Chain A
């Protein structure tokens, strides 16, 4: 029952945590699709719920977390699926690359032991061929002298090398979809650029990608479509060119303006920061969550929450009572 078009289908996903101070809603009413071979980015600041969204997809929420709604991978439901069913998908259907390569590698095992264990565990190789496959996997992410790396422990590798080993591990099960959570945040710029190149190559080979990031630079270079999250909800969802050229949500526009640039603009001028702070999870105001920081906000914004809707004649969806692109149409 696989639909080749929609590889991953997230529908009305909500994630809620039970805490000592009462329930905290981390993700609310998120619907998102990743088609085969497509790269979708979810952008948001800390506390926007982007990481919980990804963890919910893989059934990896913390003990006190509950997900509701639906997450289907190749047609089969993942929410509420048994651990056994999830384990069949994890690794071989969906690969995961996390922010901190140290957390995806076991510190006291040699790289070889970890890769071989993974291959045998998932039934991807026989004992005889596992080592050769591990070497091939490392070569694929352009690791020089893979044989020498196999003998090393994670702490003997640089951060960039560890992230490449982690990427090799994520790709080893030949997944159809790779989930990447802030894959470059912990790395230096030059190392970051190499990882982004590798991800772009993986994408060009037809692997679908869902990237979670706060870095609009990463989004611009990699994604086909972008969902912007704020306070647990998607506030704008658009093709990447459109999002950067003509953002509809005031938050997206403000975020783009706040990024310091390497070129152009007035380097000696002030940066366009957004006043105030994003709301903390569990303290989201009624109405539009961005209203307290928004220059365009009216009483309607503080009272009624805008639903995510597609503007007439536009290819993007926006959750705003006064979207920026609507003005152009009215004028």
Chain B
């Protein structure tokens, strides 16, 4: 079966500052021939350290960054990022949630307005006011926010509530793929767990695929079926959750797993 999303041998390079037309251009290779795929309704986790290229990968799929080699396929067809009409239709199907819950909402818009804006901008045709009202209410309910919060501004909401609004805004048009770029990293542990559960519920209920980017391996383990490990722009290892966590093939993956401080107290020798 054709996967929903296929990133096929994508390379991205950024021109380094200071290179001029006289000197030979120098580049930073952010991604080198990376291939991953997400099946319909699947949940792929992308892990790696800062500078590994995980956010660049998300940006390529969203069309924010141009890949200088390779292709991105959506349901088996190459995405033409310069085709504005095609991209508009694709925006309905691919949505994104970023790390900073306050930064991704307009401070002058209430939660309800922010969701309404996304609905009107992305829906296939005009949405009648009554239908819009119902869809906004149901998307708020779905992310676990009381309808009373629709009239609040971002500064009147907690970090976790803001992130729920961002998720409601991204999912109100029922995208097929939700890209989460460190979407739970800025949240407190107790709130993070709620949002991880929420993403999982939405994904299961609507068969919405997730491309979940995080440096937190434990969160990825709880959310994703497949995991891709990136290191310095290269795909180091790819596999299902159980294999990656229990029998990683690569030294890099093993080192990454070993580095996570775990909340387990091991007996320490007496210190002098």
Known: A188-B49, A273-B194. A262 touches B262 (CB 8 A): yes
- Of chain A, the residue at the smallest CB distance from B263 is A216
Closest Cβ of chain A to B144, distance in Å, is 9
- Of chain A, the residue at the smallest CB distance from B161 is A277
Contact A189 B217 (CB under 8 A): yes
Q: Which residues of A contact B216 (CB under 8 A)?
A: 260
Q: Chain B interface residue count: which class?
A: 35 or more
- Of chain A, the residue at the smallest CB distance from B184 is A260
Q: Which residues of A contact B260 (CB under 8 A)?
A: 189, 193, 217, 262
- Of chain A, the residue at the smallest CB distance from B242 is A267
- Of chain B, the residue at the smallest CB distance from A159 is B50
Convert B47-60 into 0s and 1s, putting 1 for each residue whose CB lies closer than 8 angstroms to a CB of A.
Answer: 00110000000000
Q: Does A83 contact B (CB under 8 A)?
A: no
Q: Does B255 contact A (CB under 8 A)?
A: yes
Q: Which residues of A contact B263 (CB under 8 A)?
A: 216-217, 219-220, 244, 256, 259, 261
Q: Which residues of B contact A65 (CB under 8 A)?
A: none
Contact A262 B255 (CB under 8 A): no
Contact B245 A272 (CB under 8 A): no
- Of chain B, the residue at the smallest CB distance from A245 is B265
How long is the Cα–Cα vector from A267 to B245 in the complex, in angstroms? 10
Q: Which residues of A contact B255 (CB under 8 A)?
A: 190
Closest Cβ of chain A to B51, distance in Å, is 9
Q: Does A156 contact B (CB under 8 A)?
A: no
Contact B265 A241 (CB under 8 A): yes
Q: Which residues of A contact B195 (CB under 8 A)?
A: 273
Contact B219 A193 (CB under 8 A): no
- Of chain B, the residue at the smallest CB distance from A200 is B268
Contact B259 A255 (CB under 8 A): no
Closest Cβ of chain B to A149, distance in Å, is 20
Number of A-B contacts (CB under 8 A): 127
Q: Does B20 contact A (CB under 8 A)?
A: no
Contact A277 B261 (CB under 8 A): no
Q: Does B176 contact A (CB under 8 A)?
A: no
Q: Does A270 contact B (CB under 8 A)?
A: yes
Known: A193-B261, A245-B265. A260 touches B161 (CB 8 A): no
Closest Cβ of chain B to A169, distance in Å, is 23
- Of chain A, the residue at the smallest CB distance from B271 is A204
Convert B231-272 into 0s and 1s, putting 1 for each residue whose CB lies closer than 8 angstroms to a CB of A.
Answer: 000000000011001000000000111111111111000011
Q: Does B215 contact A (CB under 8 A)?
A: yes
- Of chain B, the residue at the smallest CB distance from A271 is B193
Closest Cβ of chain B to A177, distance in Å, is 16
Known: A190-B256, A190-B259. A262 touches B159 (CB 8 A): no
Q: Which residues of B contact A261 (CB under 8 A)?
A: 218, 221, 262-263
How long is the Cα–Cα vector from A190 to B200 in the complex, in angstroms? 28
Contact B197 A271 (CB under 8 A): yes
Known: A189-B217, A273-B191. A221 touches B245 (CB 8 A): no
Closest Cβ of chain B to A250, distance in Å, is 12
Contact A189 B222 (CB under 8 A): no
Convert B141-163 into 0s and 1s, putting 1 for each residue whose CB lies closer than 8 angstroms to a CB of A.
Answer: 00000000000000000111100
- Of chain B, the residue at the smallest CB distance from A244 is B265
Contact B194 A259 (CB under 8 A): no
Known: A193-B261, A220-B262, A245-B265. A259 touches B159 (CB 8 A): no
Contact A262 B218 (CB under 8 A): yes
Q: Does B99 contact A (CB under 8 A)?
A: no
How long is the Cα–Cα vector from A186 to B263 in the complex, in angstroms? 19
User: A220-B264, A267-B222 provided; 7 other pairs, C-beta below 8 A?
Assistant: A45-B188, A45-B190, A196-B261, A217-B262, A256-B263, A267-B245, A273-B192
B interface, CB within 8 angstroms of A: 49-50, 158-161, 188-197, 200, 215-219, 221-222, 241-242, 245, 255-266, 271-272
The 8 A-B residue pairs with the shortest CB-CB distance, nearest first, are A217-B261, A273-B193, A273-B194, A271-B193, A274-B190, A216-B263, A260-B218, A45-B188
